[in-house]
């Protein structure tokens, strides 16, 4: 075409497209899910803009927020159209030629080895999945701020963009035309498309139509000449039984009445494929586990076959009304803790009265809970204000507070329902239920995926520190390689033991040999091992739990019960300690004391109560180096 401008795909996109094209991945259906999801996003965007400016919607059909699918069997084209926000020329170049999201290389690498495309939507490259089924794709788009353009590519490393002077004007929105590959002709079957749309669009909040062909009976005046037997039989066999007789009768009465006959005619009309009732508006009692699981998959764009670990669906009433569904994903995303403090990792979708507002509101949940997925639909927040004003709205604080409570309750329940967690208590008492097997080990799984988030929560959230500390799991000198809770630790404390003992270091193996533990172990005291670098920070915030202080056993001031001999020893070694302190004094040590924590080892270096532990020194050093 004369006015076409050529562009090359970013190298990474090209690589991705090559992989998709040559993929032997069997589930090619996923392209439809990605296209519908993009159409729905585009519709959400224009609807959001229309809240503050009605004009943007336009008039007539253009204003209809819907998705349409059409099949052209002759030309072998499947097209999907939305009346969403559309793309300007610049958008087309940027959105369908480069990859914005980080971590895509990692995805490409992973796909090359595993060949699993299921997670493509999570990486912000879902669009390219069209090349699983098409060898040539046209994207026609009209944005309010620009003319109508066509983007096209045969996935040969380049794409072209032309001003659209030949297609019908779209009004606004995007039409994607897939020229289907020879081996993907099944996507021209209406029944196949209907099945897929039903499967993938269950949670899409816009109507999806397909241009469906239908055979209908129409009554037409019988044409004397053409009323052959053949036609008559074909007609009557498909009509209702009662009418069969009528047909025969009318045969007899041919002479008297003006004759009519029924014939089959093919017509086409838009057929609605989905039911747009939002799952979160339904009563939790009516929603099945399977529906929640599917809803999670579509929300998280995580189409593996794993169930979410837990969910909480509730209706908050009072000053601030909202409905919410929260999920604990089955796995942590690969980049959960990457630049934790610098990036917005908000994962909740915010709706106001059924209208999607944003999924980038980090005011809804604190950072440490950003691993949760879900949505909030509020009736209290105003609809017709800017995102900035919403972000500052006072109700958000209340919503956030309630969400945190509900989230922590949901996590606590994972532990409560896990039969492994209650072991060590009275095992006879715990009744076995049918889903015990499913819940078994769930909390350990949760802890392995998201434990660090709980620790970060203890550091960041003073209000909920105690609730979070309840969710903490640790290993200790007595936990036998398993995890234990602080409550369990306390239940095992020796009589007269006041503090919760812990030690920090780089690994459990190293700590097990530590001379600091000699005496404590011998006296049968339990000591918690903290081996994650974040634990040092954690213990600066977690001072006490259930009225018990935490005591680092490598620090000065350790008291292990009463030690009657201590005073005597202090007296008899007075001269030695004095000499020792004198010869090491100054920058090297603060003090030299008789210790009550050793058994075999003659001496140890101990850090002062308020200073950094040796482990912390180690961590800080490795960070500055």
Residue selected from 34, 44, 449, 536 as contacting ligand ADP according to rule CB under 6 A: 34
Q: Is residue 274 a contact residue for Mg ion (CB under 5 A)?
A: no
Of the candidates 125, 350, 364, 538, which one interacts with ligand ADP according to CB under 6 A?
A: 125
Residue 33: CB minimum distance to Mg ion, A = 9
Radius of gyration of the chain (CA): 34
Instruction: Report d(CA 43, CA 36) in Å as an integer.
Output: 10
Binding mask 40-59 for ligand ADP (x = CB under 6 A): -xx-----------------
Rank residues 163 and 321 by Cβ distance to ligand ADP and give the closer one: 163
- Is 95 marked within a binding site? yes
C-alpha to C-alpha distance for 565 and 596, rounded to whole angstroms: 9
Q: Is 201 in the site for Mg ion (CB under 5 A)?
A: no
**Distance (Å) of CA 116 to CA 11, 257, 569:** 21, 67, 68
How is residue 478 written in tokens? 């007595």
Segment holding 352, helix H or strand E: strand 348-352
DSSP-derived secondary structure for 421-432: HHTTS-TTTSPP
77-82 and 548-552: which strand pairing?
Answer: unpaired
Contact 476, 526 (CB under 8 A): yes
Q: Does 377 bind ligand ADP (CB under 6 A)?
A: no
| CB contact at 8 A, 557 and 581 | no
Instruction: Note the residue count of the chain.
Output: 625
Name which of ligand ADP, Mg ion, none residue 42 binds, using a CB cut-off of 5 to 8 Å depending on partner kind.
Answer: ligand ADP
> Which residues from 134-193 bind ligand ADP, rule CB under 6 A?
174
Closest approach of ligand ADP to the CB of residue 59, in Å = 20
Smallest distance from ligand ADP to CB 112, Å: 18
Binding Mg ion (rule: CB under 5 A), the pick from 86, 126, 333, 451 is: 126
- Given Mg ion, ligand ADP, none, residue 207, with its beta carbon under 5 to 8 Å by kind, binds none
Q: x/- contact string, 37-76, with Mg ion (CB under 5 A)?
A: -x--------------------------------------
**Residue 79 binds to Mg ion (criterion: CB under 5 A):** no
Tokens representing 319 are 């000053």
- Which helix (H) or strand (E) is 163 found in, with range? strand 158-163
Distances (CA, A) of 517 to 268, 311, 479, 534, 604: 81, 41, 15, 22, 11
Q: CB of 300 within 8 A of CB of 331?
A: no
CB 240 within 8 A of CB 217: no
141 lies in the site for Mg ion, by CB under 5 A = no
Give SS3 for 473.
Answer: strand
**Least distance to Mg ion, CB of residue 128, Å:** 10
Q: How far is the CB of 58 from ligand ADP (least distance, A)?
A: 15
Stretch touching ligand ADP by CB under 6 A, among 106-114, 120-128, 198-206, 554-562: 120-128
Q: Which of 126, 366, 451, 457 binds ligand ADP (CB under 6 A)?
A: 126
Nearest approach in angstroms of CB 401 to ligand ADP is 31
Q: At what angle do helices 442-460 and 395-417 cross, to 10 degrees?
A: 140
Choice from 13, 30, 65, 85 touching ligand ADP (CB under 6 A): 85
Pairing of strands 355-358, 348-352: antiparallel
* Cβ atoms of residues 470 and 549 within 8 Å: no
Compare residues 122 and 506 and give the one whose CB is closer to Mg ion.
Answer: 122
141 is in an annotated binding site: no
Chosen from Mg ion, ligand ADP, none, partner binding at 85 (C-beta under 5 to 8 Å by type): ligand ADP
Report the nearest approach of ligand ADP to the CB of residue 34 (Å).
Answer: 5
Give the nearest distance from C-beta 31 to ligand ADP in angstroms. Answer: 10
Size of the site for ligand ADP (CB under 6 A): 17
- Phi first, then psi: give them for residue 78, nearest 5 degrees: -110, 125
Asked if residue 104 binds ligand ADP (CB under 6 A), the reply is no
Nearest approach, Cβ of residue 199 and ligand ADP (Å): 18
Which CB atom, from 104 or from 380, has the smaller least distance to ligand ADP?
Answer: 104
Residue found by looking up tokens 């039911």 in the block:
275
**Under rule CB under 6 A, residue 82 binds ligand ADP:** yes
Q: Can residue 132 be called a binding residue for ligand ADP (CB under 6 A)?
A: no
CB-count burial class (<10 Å; 0-12, 13-18, 19+) for 573: middle
Q: Say whether residue 84 binds ligand ADP (CB under 6 A).
A: yes
Q: Cα separation of 127 and 9, whole Å?
A: 14
84 touching Mg ion, by CB under 5 A: no
Instruction: With beta carbons less than 8 A apart as the criterion, state whether 205 and 47 touch.
Output: no
Residue ranges for the known binding site for ATP are 34, 38, 82, 87, 95, 101-103, 122-127, 174, 387
Task: Tell me which residues touch ligand ADP (CB under 6 A).
Answer: 34, 38-39, 41-42, 82, 84-87, 95-96, 124-127, 174
Query: By the criterion CB under 5 A, which residues form the site for Mg ion?
Result: 38, 126
């Amino acid at each position: 075409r004369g006015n076409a401008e050529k562009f090359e795909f970013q190298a990474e996109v090209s690589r991705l497209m090559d992989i998709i094209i040559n993929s032997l991945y069997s589930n090619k259906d996923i392209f439809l899910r990605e296209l519908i999801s993009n159409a729905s996003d585009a519709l959400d965007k224009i609807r959001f803009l229309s809240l503050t400016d009605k004009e943007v919607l336009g008039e007539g059909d253009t204003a209809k927020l819907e998705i349409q699918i059409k099949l052209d069997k002759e030309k072998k084209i499947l097209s999907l159209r939305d009346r969403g926000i559309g793309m300007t020329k610049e958008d087309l170049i940027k959105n369908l030629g480069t990859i914005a999201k980080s971590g895509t290389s990692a995805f490409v690498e992973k796909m090359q080895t595993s060949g699993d495309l299921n997670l493509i939507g999570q990486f912000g490259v879902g669009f390219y999945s069209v090349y699983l089924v098409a060898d040539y794709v046209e994207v026609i788009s009209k944005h309010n701020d620009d003319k109508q353009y066509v983007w096209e590519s045969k996935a040969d490393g380049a794409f072209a963009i032309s001003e659209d002077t030949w297609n019908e004007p779209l009004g606004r929105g995007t039409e994607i035309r897939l020229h289907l590959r020879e081996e993907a002709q099944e996507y021209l079957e209406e029944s196949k498309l209907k099945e897929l749309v039903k499967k993938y669009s269950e949670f899409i909040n816009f109507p999806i139509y397909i241009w469906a062909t239908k055979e209908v009976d129409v009554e037409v005046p019988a044409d004397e000449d053409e009323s052959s037997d053949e036609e008559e039989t074909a007609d009557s066999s498909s009509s209702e039984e009662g009418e069969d007789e009528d047909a025969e009768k009318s045969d007899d009465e041919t002479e008297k009445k003006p004759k009519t006959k029924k014939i089959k005619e093919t017509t086409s009309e838009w057929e609605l494929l989905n039911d747009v009732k939002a799952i979160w508006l339904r009563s939790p009692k009516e929603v099945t586990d399977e529906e929640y699981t599917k809803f999670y998959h579509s929300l998280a764009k995580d189409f593996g076959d794993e169930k979410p670990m837990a969910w909480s669906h509730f209706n908050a009433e009072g000053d601030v009304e909202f409905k919410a569904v929260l999920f604990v994903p089955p796995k942590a995303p690969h980049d959960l803790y990457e630049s934790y403090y610098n990036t917005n990792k908000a994962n909740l979708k915010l709706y106001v009265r059924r209208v999607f507002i944003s999924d980038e509101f980090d005011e809804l949940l604190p950072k440490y809970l950003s691993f949760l997925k879900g949505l909030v639909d509020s009736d209290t927040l105003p609809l017709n204000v800017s995102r900035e004003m919403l972000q500052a709205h006072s109700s958000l604080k209340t919503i956030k507070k309630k969400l945190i409570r509900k989230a922590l309750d949901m996590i606590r329940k994972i532990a409560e329902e896990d039969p492994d967690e209650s072991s060590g208590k009275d095992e006879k008492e715990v009744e076995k239920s049918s889903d015990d097997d499913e819940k078994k080990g769930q909390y350990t799984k949760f802890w392995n995926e998201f434990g660090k988030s709980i620790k970060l929560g203890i550091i960041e959230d003073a209000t909920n520190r105690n609730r979070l500390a309840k969710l903490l799991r640790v290993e200790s000198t007595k936990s036998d390689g398993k995890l234990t809770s602080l409550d369990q630790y306390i239940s095992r404390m020796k009589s007269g033991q006041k503090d919760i003992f812990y030690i920090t270091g780089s690994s459990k193996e190293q700590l097990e040999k530590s001379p600091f533990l000699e005496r404590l172990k011998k006296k049968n005291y339990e000591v918690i091992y903290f081996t994650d670098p974040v634990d040092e920070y954690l213990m600066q915030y977690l001072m006490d739990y259930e009225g018990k202080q935490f005591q680092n056993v490598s620090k000065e001031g350790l008291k292990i019960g009463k030690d009657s001999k201590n005073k005597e020893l202090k007296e008899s070694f007075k001269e030695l300690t004095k000499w020792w302190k004198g010869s090491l004094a100054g920058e090297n040590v603060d003090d030299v004391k008789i210790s009550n924590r050793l058994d075999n080892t003659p001496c140890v270096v101990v850090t002062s109560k308020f200073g950094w532990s040796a482990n912390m020194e180690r961590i800080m050093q490795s960070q500055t180096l």
